Amino acid sequence: MSVLPILCWPDARLRQVCEPVQGDVSALAADMLDTMYAAKGRGLAAPQVGRMVRLFVMDIGWKEGARQPRVFVNPELDISYDRFESGEEACLSIPGVAARVMRPPELVIRWSDLDGARHQEHMTGFAARCVQHEVDHLNGLVIFDRLPPEHRDQMEKDYAR
């Protein structure tokens, strides 16, 4: 497998809404997992490596224990919760930046695996936060887009320096 280059903000591809996956993406998913682990990340979305499809990989606990890689093809979120929590997020496409982002602390995600089987899972806590962060990438959003304007402007300026 291969480690792929990670796009950095403000690359215009990070602003694009991704197309549904059609066909076999198992090689891409394997490369994305290699890339995520090499970059010391916990999640990576296809647009972050220049592939504009609705695919992300995640392994939230590998830094504390054994690797448990997960691949999400064409994910759909059901966030019908009206409670939000603040949590710190970093992004492999915005190196050196961490921001406190408000997100619902739980969700239901539906997705396909690499064999096309459909799955559904209720997620809470850090897993829910990570999923929302990666799905944002599939929708052309980055953590700056989740900040109040006054914080966003300052963080973007600081990052650009």
Q: Tens digit of pLDDT for each residue in 39-55?
A: 999 999 999 999 999 99
26: its two tokens: 């198992």
Could you report the per-residue pLDDT of 101-156, keeping only the tens digit for each?
A: 999 999 999 999 999 999 999 999 999 999 999 999 999 999 999 999 888 888 88
106: alpha, beta or left, given left = phi > 0 and alpha = psi -120 to 50?
A: beta
What is the domain range of residue 34?
12-160
Average pLDDT over residues 12-21: 98
> Is 156 within the bounds of a domain?
yes
> Is 42 within the bounds of a domain?
yes
Catalytic residue among 19, 76, 89, 134: 134
> Is 7 within the bounds of a domain?
no
Question: Is there a catalytic annotation at residue 134?
Answer: yes
> Is 81 within the bounds of a domain?
yes
Edge-to-edge strand order for the sheet containing 70-78? 43-45, 55-58, 70-78, 106-112, 118-124
> Is 44 within the bounds of a domain?
yes
The percent helix, strand, coil of the chain (3-state, each to 5) is: 30, 25, 40
> Is 150 within the bounds of a domain?
yes
> Is 147 within the bounds of a domain?
yes
Please give the mean pLDDT across all residues of the chain.
Answer: 95
How many domains, the chain?
1
CATH number for the domain that contains residue 52 = 3.90.45.10
> Is 98 within the bounds of a domain?
yes
Those residues whose C-beta lies under 8 Å from the C-beta of residue 78, and which sit 6 or more positions away, are 107, 108, 109, 110
